[in-house]
Structure 1
Amino acid sequence: MSERRRPAALLAGLCLSVATLFSAAASAETTELRVSAIPDEAPTELLRKFEPLGNYLQEQLGIPVVFQPVSDYAGVVEALGSKRLDMAWLGGFTFVQAKLRTGNAIPLVQREQDEVFTSTFITADPDVHSHADLKGKSFAFGSVSSTSGHLMPRYFLQQDGIDPDTFFSRVGFSGAHDATVAWVESGKVDAGVLNSSVWEKLLEQDKVDTSKVHVYTTTPTYYDYNWTVRGDLEPELVERIRAAFLALDPANPAHKTILDLQRASRFVPTSAENYTGIEEAARSAGLLE
């Protein structure tokens, strides 16, 4: 090749490289939003709660929004880490796990009540009025990875000087909040703990026999649930998702239906710093190395 022709060839090569980069960038754009949630309730209930929200997000974003159920809490974290999910409804502890697993998970929004969340301790034993009354009896948490069904109740028990693994005769994990209620009501365990919001919902739906089961105490407040996205989603899409959640207005009847299913008065911005206390509690409880 002559010296005269070499610059032209170099320029052509450069143009081809730039075109390839633009092509790759275009192909990397999100064409559908893959969404899931920690399975803290029955799969049919999670899908029922999400469907109106999914339709709303699809309208706001202009791309398909697909709900992908998972079998366990760890599956949600792994799916975010392996980029098989774009967004997920996580508990505070699962968010901490996702942040550590991915290095860049972004908590977008939480419900107003997630700033002051609590867990509810229940029993079917009329003689139980405090933790002390359960010494030597059986107890149920929800999922091992549940913030409100395991981590924070365990942490607060430890703060009260109770090691659940030695204080109770047997500790079981029901896998979900509604399952914990069923265990307690049926007598499978003497007591258990669950998400206070789910407890209130079950009461409203008459799915608890209150002649058998009663609340004996609740935890102090803590930060819990949020909607989290992968940190490598396009920034513009991330902001549009956040804006869609923040635009949900309880004064709008269609929006109120969505908010009611999410048990939310409205959504507010959140940040990773809000979950520092959850991470510290998890390390204190020996659930994180």
Structure 2
Amino acid sequence: MKKIFLNLFGLLIGLSFLTGCTKSKEIGSVENPLKFYLVPAQDLMGLETTGKALKKYLEAELGISVVVELPPNYIAVVEAFGSKRADVAILNTFGYILAKEKYDVVPRLKLVNRGRDEYFGQIIAHVDGPKTIQEINGKTFAFVDP
């Protein structure tokens, strides 16, 4: 699984170069390393370990300089695109929608997990609440904040 994860990100980085770069220094150079943002997680230590492994893998496979950033929240990842601090990021659905609306980001790849590329979510209601999709019409929703 870890090897698949790392291969996927290698491909993501390779494809991201097709979009070009607005900076004067070549992206991936020591002066302008590829800036890869990971989304925050509850397991910060695990994320730091993954980030270090990802950096090492990408630098070895692509022959470029990489910086992996671990921002404090999802909004910081989205805003990093607007301020040109991020070149590539892994985003959740809501983060992508915000980044697309604000900064016109373009998805290049989607995650494949256990051979599947679907995304699943849940709609949770009180026991006496809606039981079908049709019963949701007109109801108030609360969404998680990235």
Question: Under a length normalisation based on structure 1, what TM-score does the superposition of the two structures give?
Answer: 0.34
Name the CA distance, whole Å, in 1 between partners of 2:23 and 2:79: 26
SS of 1:111's partner is coil
Match among 124, 127, 135 for residue 133 of structure 1:
127
Find the counterpart in structure 2 of residue 29 from structure 1: 26
Paired position in structure 2 for 1:273: none
Provide closer, same or farther for how the CA distance between residues 35 and 159 of structure 1 changes in structure 2, counting only shifts above 3 A.
farther
Distance change in 2, residues 1:108/1:159 (3 Å): farther
- Same amino acid, percent of matched pairs: 26
Shift of 1:132: 3.8
In 2, the alpha carbon distance for the partners of 1:99 and 1:81 equals 10
- Provide structure 1 residue ranges, at least 5 long, that are not aligned to the other structure: 1-24, 122-129, 136-156, 166-170, 177-289
Matches within 5 A, 1:188-227: none
Give me the whole-angstrom Cα distance separating, in 1, the residues matched to 2:135 and 2:26: 50
Aligned counterparts of 2:23 and 2:103: Cα–Cα separation in 1? 23
Letter of the 1:47 partner, please give it.
E
Deviation at 1:84, TM superposition (A): 0.8
Shift in Å at residue 164 of structure 1? 4.1
State the aligned residue count: 115
Q: Which residue of 1 aligns with 2:102?
A: 101
Give the equivalent residue in structure 2 for 1:110: 110
Is 2:86 the counterpart of 1:85? yes
Alignment of 1:31-70 (within 5 A): 31=29, 32-70=33-71
Unaligned residue ranges in structure 2 (runs of 5+):
1-21
Higher share in helix = 1
The SS at the match of 2:90 is strand
In structure 2, C-alpha distance between the alignment counterparts of 1:52 and 1:116, rounded to whole Å: 26
Q: CA RMSD, aligned part only?
A: 3.2
Letter in 2 for 1:93: F
Name the CA distance, whole Å, in 1 between partners of 2:96 and 2:140: 25
Shift of 1:26: 8.9
**Separation in 2, partners of 1:61, 1:39:** 25
C-alpha spacing 1:26/1:77, structure 2 compared with 1 (3 Å): closer
4+ runs of 1 displaced by more than 3 Å? 157-160
